[in-house]
């Protein structure tokens, strides 16, 4: 078996792994200022969606192309999400002073809103990576895609949240989990999510060539 043959499975696998490691590193570095997490996540999804579409990409070029092109909208959406999360947290704190019956109702409402906000945050940056439009329209797209395929939304939430939960909950294996996250955990999660997202978005690219992925 010739490893250097481009059709060799191991050759293709290590090329793919190298792209994931590179994307993971780019995402972590560009997320350090915190305020840029929205732009870096949009760029990450731009690359992982293109990997599903085109199978091969220039990691460095594609990541920074999306980061620069979507920086303003991504940052605005990221700030809006942080503000919404802060409001929910303040409301959750405030209901402790309410009468028991009212407190229970508000607890259910806040929990439902929090779950929907989680789903929305898992979709919105990939929507921004895939489609070009005004922020108001992109928000509508994000909500639409969640409702269109609820099973996909649940799968994406599980893929994203369960590994994070086990990383925090399993103290014995924490060093291994940490190593995986630092190597390719974030990019691998985005790539796995993009398997569902690309199948959700693809019909819209077949109907129109106005998205970010169009040639």
pLDDT, position 212 = 46
pLDDT of residue 4: 53
Are 197 and 54 in contact, with CB atoms under 8 Å apart? no
Residue with token string 């040639």: 215
Q: Taking 90 as the threshold, does the pLDDT of residue 195 lie above it?
A: yes
Q: Which pLDDT tens digit goes with each residue over 100-119? A: 777 788 888 899 999 999 99
Could you tell me the residue ranges of all domains in the chain? Answer: 9-207
How confident is the prediction for the chain on average, in pLDDT?
A: 89
Quick: pLDDT tens for 37-53.
999 999 999 999 999 98
Distance CA 35, CA 3 (A): 42
Helix H or strand E segment including 123 = helix 100-130
HEC string for the chain: CCCCCCCCHHHHHHHHHHHHHHHHHHHHHHHCCCCCHHHHHHHHHHHHHHHHHHCCCCHHHHHHHHHHHCHHHHHHHHHHHHHHHHHHHHHHHHHHHCCHHHHHHHHHHHHHHHHHHHHHHHHHHHHHHHCCCCHHHHHHHHHHHHHHCHHHHHHHHHHHHHHHHHHHHCCCCHHHHHHHHHHHHHHHHHHHHHHHHHHHHHHHHHHCCCCCCCC
Report pLDDT for 213: 41
| Predicted local confidence at residue 208, as pLDDT | 47
Tallying the residues shown for the chain, one arrives at 215
- Looking at residue 210, its pLDDT comes to 41
Percent of the chain with pLDDT over 90: 71
pLDDT level of residue 94 (50, 70, 90 thresholds): confident
Confidence of residue 7 (pLDDT cuts 50, 70, 90): low
The 10s digit of each residue's pLDDT in 106-152 is 888 899 999 999 999 999 999 999 998 899 999 999 999 999 999 99
List, in order, residues 6 or more apart from 103 with CB less than 8 Å away: 95, 96
The angle, 0 to 180 degrees and rounded to 10, between the axes of the packed helices 71-94 and 135-148 is 70
């Amino acid at each position: 078996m010739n490893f250097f043959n481009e059709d060799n499975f191991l050759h293709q696998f290590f090329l793919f792994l190298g792209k994931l490691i590179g994307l993971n590193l780019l995402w972590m570095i560009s997320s350090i200022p915190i305020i840029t997490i929205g732009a870096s996540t949009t760029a990450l999804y731009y690359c992982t969606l293109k990997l599903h579409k085109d199978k091969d990409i220039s990691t460095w070029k594609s990541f920074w192309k999306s980061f620069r092109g979507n920086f303003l909208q991504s940052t605005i959406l990221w700030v809006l999400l942080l503000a919404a999360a802060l409001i929910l947290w303040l409301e959750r704190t405030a209901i402790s002073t309410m009468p028991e019956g009212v407190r229970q109702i508000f607890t259910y409402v806040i929990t439902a809103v929090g779950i929907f906000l989680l789903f929305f945050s898992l979709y919105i940056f990939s929507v921004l990576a895939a489609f070009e439009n005004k922020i108001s329209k992109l928000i509508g797209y994000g909500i639409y895609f969640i409702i269109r395929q609820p099973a996909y939304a649940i799968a994406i939430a599980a893929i994203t949240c369960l590994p994070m939960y086990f990383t925090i909950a399993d103290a014995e294996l924490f060093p291994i989990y940490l190593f995986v996250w630092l190597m390719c955990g974030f990019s691998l999660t985005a790539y796995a999510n993009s398997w569902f997202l690309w199948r959700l978005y693809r019909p819209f690219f077949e109907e129109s060539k106005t998205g970010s992925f169009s040639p």
